[in-house]
Structure formats: C-alpha cells, structure tokens
Amino acid sequence: MRLALVSVPVKIFPATSTGARISFHQVHQPSGKRVRYQKVVPGLGPVDTDDIVKGFELEKGQYVLIAPDEIEDLKLEAKKTLDLVQFVSQGEIDPIWFDRPYYVVPDGEMAEEAYGVLRDALRESRRLGLGQYVMRGREYIAAIKPCGNGLLLETLRFADEVRSAAPFFSTVDDVEPDEELLSLARELIERKSAPFDPSRFEDQYTKALREMVDAKAKRRKPVAIEEDEEPSGGAKVIDLVDALKRSVKTAGGAGAKGSSSSGSRKRKAS
C-alpha cells in the first residue's frame, strides 16, 4: 500500500466467512453415487472442454464467439501495490457501493510505524483512502479506513454495476404522512433503538438444517458414497518522516478523477 512516497508493506485477509453455511452434495439414491454434471450439446451429447468457447449474445440467436486464450490475454498482471490516490469523508459513500471487506495488517515490524501513522491520520481526519489494485486478473476499487486498532479494505463496485433507484421508486407516491401516525412511528422507533449487536440476529434456516443433520447423524449410520476420481509486500519503510515531508511538497490538489490502471496487459510471447 502506498501513499505518494510512503510505502507500507501489508497483507490482506477476508473479513467474512461462509463457513457457518451448510452445503449439500447431490446423491443418486438407488446407486449411492454422487451426481456429476456434464457439458452436453443437444443432438451430440457430452463434449470436450477444449472444444468449448464463450459466446456473447448480441441479439436473439446471434453470438460473438471468443476463445479462452483471447480472454486470458485481457487479464491484468497482478500488481502488488495499492496506490491511494484520493480521500473522501467517512459517510460520503453510500453503502450500496461497498462490496467485500478485508482486514489489512502490517507485513513485518518495519511496516508498523508507517501503518500506524496512516491509520491514525485517517481516523483523525475522518477520511477514507481510495485507490485501485489488481487481484486474480481483475481490477478493483478499494476504500481504506480505520477499523479498531487496524485498517479495513472494502472493495467498491464500479459505476456501471449499480442500478439507479429512480425507476423502481417512480410509482411511490410522495405524499405528506399524517402527523399523528408519523409521531407514533417515531416513538416506536425510539423505543426499539439499541446499540447494534449482531449476535441478536440468527440464521434460523441454517440453524434448523444443522439440527436436522445432527439428529440424523445420531440416529442413522452415515451412508458411504462412491467417489470418482494473497499479495504481500516486502519493501522496507525507509525514513518515514522524510518520505511524508517530500510527499506533502509534491502532492497536488484533490485526487484526479479516476486513476491510471494498476496493471499492465499481458502479452503473448511471440
């Protein structure tokens, strides 16, 4: 992670987990075998993966065909640097733009001082740092903000990924509500207001599934099913104070609209 001339070696870790969710396999009960899926063409049957290309439908029945290597050539080379190019006030970005959260931790003792300076500066200024980075061939927008004693990175959706709300609310009447009803609603909201505690909310469906699975496992012998065969940086943080001073001298105004691509296109060897 880099702010002008200041580099902060960091590691990122997913902040969420789907481990609590229950997933099932499909089993063919008469044979006791796992159900597998095949890619088939009507009239031809199963086809080889090597013979499959991707198709983009321009209009009904009309496709542009694209080979896997053509898509591979467009993927961005991973760049292990997130440049913070702009800062915005906390609360300025509507929650609809946020996608996935990651914990950001310093990579080694040499990174801790610069990490702490950035964290505290963001906290005191009540700002989020914005930039772009490449992961698994795709480019992402990232927002960096303080989180407890550390930093949180949240990926953001691109402009064309968020639908305008106006068409959906166009039929909602903008009428003045009855004052008595509004007062009662405000009172009810006030009575039910409390600090957020995620443990008060439980996934009842997953809980019921787990209880059912556990009960069946105790009462019945399990059935034997026949089976077929992140970026981190290592750069040193050198002379943090000097780097910060030089960054302030060379910094321009507010972040320019957009930023240069964080990665370079891969080219096939000739």
Residue with tokens 């959706």: 157
Nearest to 242 by CA among 74, 4, 1, 10: 4
User: What pLDDT sits at residue 13?
Assistant: 94
User: What pLDDT sits at residue 65?
Assistant: 87
What are the residue ranges in the chain where pLDDT is below 50? 230-237, 255-270
Calculate helix-pair angle for 240-250, 112-125, nearest 10 degrees.
Answer: 40
CA distance 256 to 180: 49
Q: Provide the whole-model pTM.
A: 0.69
Nearest to 98 by CA among 164, 153, 166: 153
Nearest to 235 by CA among 42, 120, 82, 47: 82
- CB of 73 closer than 8 Å to CB of 266: yes
- Domain locations along the chain: 1-17+73-163+230-251
Q: How far is CA 265 from the centre of its chain?
A: 22
65-117 confidence digits (pLDDT tens) = 888 888 777 766 666 788 899 999 999 999 999 999 999 999 988 899 999 99
Tokens of 110: 């040499």
Specify burial of residue 246 (Cβ count, 10 A radius: 0-12, 13-18, 19+).
middle
User: What pLDDT sits at residue 79?
Assistant: 65
The domain at 1-17+73-163+230-251 falls in which architecture?
Beta Barrel (2.40)
User: What pLDDT sits at residue 154?
Assistant: 96
